[in-house]
Amino acid sequence: MKLSIILPAKNEAASLGDLLPRIRQELPEAELLLIDDGSTDATAEIARSGGARVVSHPYSLGNGAAVKTGARAAKGDILVFMDADGQHDPADIPRLLETLSRGYDMVVGARSQGSQANWGRGLANRLYNRLASYMTGQLIEDLTSGFRAVRAERFRTFLYLLPNGFSYPTTITMAFFRAGYGVAYEPIHAAKRIGKSHISPLKDGMRFLLIIFRVGTLYSPLKLFVPVAALHASVGIGYYVYTYAAQSRISLATLFLLTSAVMIFLIGLVSEQITQLMYKDSASRAADRERSTDQGPSTTSSERRRA
């Protein structure tokens, strides 16, 4: 099966001179594809001189947008996504591919604890992993790792779901679990990146918070909404008991809490139905694609028989 290695890059000229020869040495037959996301340095020129095929965005569209561009442009049956900043070791790619060959649909490089950029990032990633594990009922070792090998046909099914920003790993991981595709993890060590990170803790703090809610609503909204509704109902009932015992009345706060509990539950129920329809649409697209693939050879064979 043909392999494509995709590197989303924005101003990564400092790392590519060392990274590209290492990839070529490890996997000389693979298609090497670099997506230049509006770089203002020599990223594209260095990539071309290193033997990579370059697809350029006219301006920066985001890491997720670069990943989607790479998935559409790649010719391989297997896609390997890795960062262009030198964090990921090309020597780990064969291990990802070997695990993928066991029947999995995606293999993620799970970073060790010492691989986190700082303690805040490590704490946030542990929070994401625990939330995602709760939502899926599966152990998720690294929800946000950008180093992964995946079957191209499966990955392209969910391109329309992927955001243009940095949270594409979260979305694609949850989408694969929701669709019933096999996901495995291989431990890796991520080195310190070369150059300056494009992630700003202050600017992206709210985005990381939204990722948590996105994970919940993407996979199983009721697992997120039911506990919140139950909390409102419990507080409302508790406050009712207190006010009735103390003043023999039902307070407006009690009515508000109980009403909000019902509303939150109903919103979760509607969200669950929307999620079901969203993944049903994905499954239909995949089935149509498989049918068109199956019909192609048979049509050709019949034409040959008539000839």
Each of the 307 residues of the chain gets a pLDDT tens digit; together they read 899 999 999 999 999 999 999 999 999 999 999 999 999 999 999 999 999 999 999 999 999 999 999 999 999 999 999 999 888 999 999 999 999 999 999 999 998 866 655 666 677 778 888 888 888 888 888 888 889 999 999 999 999 888 887 778 888 998 898 888 999 999 998 877 675 655 555 555 566 667 767 777 777 888 889 999 999 999 999 999 999 888 888 889 999 999 999 999 999 999 888 887 776 665 566 556 555 545 554 443 333 333 3
Neighbouring residues of 262: CB distance < 8 A, sequence distance ≥ 6 = 229
- Backbone phi and psi for residue 285, each to the nearest 5 degrees, phi listed first: -65, -45
Same domain, residue pair 97 and 227: no
Neighbouring residues of 26: CB distance < 8 A, sequence distance ≥ 6 = 90, 91, 93, 94
Same domain, residue pair 172 and 299: no
Q: For residue 51, tell me if it sits in a domain.
A: yes
Q: For residue 123, tell me if it sits in a domain.
A: yes
| Interior angle at CA 117, CA 143 and CA 78, nearest 5 | 40
Same domain, residue pair 231 and 120: no
Q: For residue 232, tell me if it sits in a domain.
A: yes
| Tokens 């494009």 found at | 198
At position 146, the amino acid (one-letter code) is G
Residue 41 belongs to domain spanning: 3-199
Output the pLDDT for position 219.
76
Q: At what angle do helices 168-179 and 205-219 cross, to 10 degrees?
A: 10
In contact, 198 and 207? CB cutoff 8 Å: no
Same domain, residue pair 227 and 114: no
Q: For residue 204, tell me if it sits in a domain.
A: no
How many C-beta atoms surround the C-beta of residue 220 within 10 A? 22
Same domain, residue pair 164 and 244: no
Output the pLDDT for position 204.
56
Same domain, residue pair 175 and 247: no
Cα torsion 7, 12, 18, 23 to 10°: value is: 0
Q: For residue 37, tell me if it sits in a domain.
A: yes
Q: For residue 213, tell me if it sits in a domain.
A: no
Same domain, residue pair 96 and 225: no
| Tokens 């929800």 found at | 143
Which residue, of 134, 166, 199, is where some domain finishes?
199
> Residue 156 is part of a domain; what is its CATH number?
3.90.550.10
| Tokens 């010492």 found at | 114
Same domain, residue pair 92 and 238: no
Q: For residue 272, tell me if it sits in a domain.
A: yes
Indicate the number of domains in the chain: 2
- Backbone phi and psi for residue 7, each to the nearest 5 degrees, phi listed first: -120, 105
Q: For residue 214, tell me if it sits in a domain.
A: no
Same domain, residue pair 52 and 139: yes
Same domain, residue pair 74 and 193: yes
In contact, 153 and 237? CB cutoff 8 Å: no
Same domain, residue pair 76 and 177: yes
Same domain, residue pair 195 and 231: no
Q: Which two tokens stand for residue 285?
A: 């697209």
Output the pLDDT for position 281.
60
Could you tell me the end-to-end alpha-carbon distance of the chain, in angstroms, rounded to an integer?
31
Three-class secondary structure of residue 3 per DSSP:
strand
